[in-house]
């Protein structure tokens, strides 16, 4: 099973600041990595797939990068609605696995 | 618009069974794989099971293999999760999610699933407790 480790667990930032979230895989997933956003009481929403492709309707301030074992989700300038929990997920091998999440909170 | 609506959750005793349903609308259900993903209270996401577009192949997490069965009824636009021998640790919100690969426009004979999820339903809560 591929283990995904997200860091940091919590990121405290102000609106307008840049957020950089990390996801590290226990073995290479090449580019088969997705990112999701989850707000309290809501279902997750797909942001990024294949490491760097933005899903339909996702603002350009969200970007993904990386390959192999190290991946990054960047939010260029935080909007109030971006404060949420973010999960990475590898979609290369069975079983599909998620990281433990990074909470982006208002500083 | 694409919509997924789960139902069937509730409170059940350990060892008992429960069947979840997910009704799909707004897209051609029979050309997409489907997944179930769960989230225990206050915890992260855990993928549970997947089924390809025509129902001929299924995949499971080790934690549910042999106890849970995913199935689908394409004429009814519904995917199911039959859960048996339930354990306290199965307590979670269960989400159904559509796979992102549309097999109506590409050859899915070798790779019928993309394995990323979009969109998700709102979830149904399952509590296993005596």
Q: What is the pLDDT of residues B19-76, one digit of tens each?
A: 999 999 999 999 999 999 999 999 999 999 999 999 999 999 999 999 999 999 999 9
CB contact under 8 A, B119 and A94: no
Confidence band of B106 (pLDDT split at 50, 70, 90): confident
Output the pLDDT for position B105.
85
State how far the alpha carbon of A97 is from the alpha carbons of B41, B44, B74, in Å: 18, 11, 27
Cross-chain CB nearest to B46 (options A38, A43, A98): A98
Which token pair is B119? 């969109």
d(CA B38, CA B50): 12
In angstroms, the separation between the Cα of residue B102 and the nearest Cα of chain A is: 15
d(CA A45, CA A40): 12
pLDDT at residue A55 is higher than 90 = yes
CB contact under 8 A, B45 and A96: no
d(CA B68, CA B10): 16
Whether the link from the prior residue into A95 is cis, omega within 30° of 0, is yes
Q: How many CB atoms lie within 10 A of CB A77?
A: 11
pLDDT at residue B112 is higher than 90 = no
């Amino acid at each position: 099973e591929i283990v995904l480790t997200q860091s940091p667990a919590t990121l405290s930032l102000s609106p307008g600041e840049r957020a950089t979230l990390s996801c590290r895989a226990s073995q290479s997933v090449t580019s088969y990595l997705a990112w999701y956003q989850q707000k309290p009481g809501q279902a997750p929403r797909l942001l990024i797939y294949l490491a760097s492709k933005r899903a339909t309707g996702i603002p350009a301030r969200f970007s993904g990068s990386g390959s192999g074992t190290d991946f990054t989700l960047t939010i260029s300038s935080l909007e109030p609605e971006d404060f949420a929990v973010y999960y990475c997920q590898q979609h290369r091998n069975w079983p599909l696995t998620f990281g433990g999440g990074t909470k982006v909170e208002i500083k | 618009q694409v919509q997924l609506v789960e139902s069937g959750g509730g409170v059940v005793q350990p060892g008992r069974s429960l069947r979840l349903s997910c009704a799909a609308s707004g897209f051609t259900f029979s050309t997409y794989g489907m997944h179930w993903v769960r989230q225990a209270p206050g915890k992260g996401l855990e993928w549970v099971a997947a089924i390809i577009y025509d129902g001929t192949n299924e995949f499971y997490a080790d934690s549910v293999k042999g106890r849970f069965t995913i199935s689908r009824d394409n004429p009814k636009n519904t995917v199911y999760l039959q859960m048996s021998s339930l354990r306290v640790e199965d307590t979670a919100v269960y989400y159904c999610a559509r796979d992102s690969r549309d097999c109506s426009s590409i050859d899915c004979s070798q790779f019928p699933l993309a394995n990323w999820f979009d969109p998700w339903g709102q979830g149904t809560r399952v509590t296993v407790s005596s």
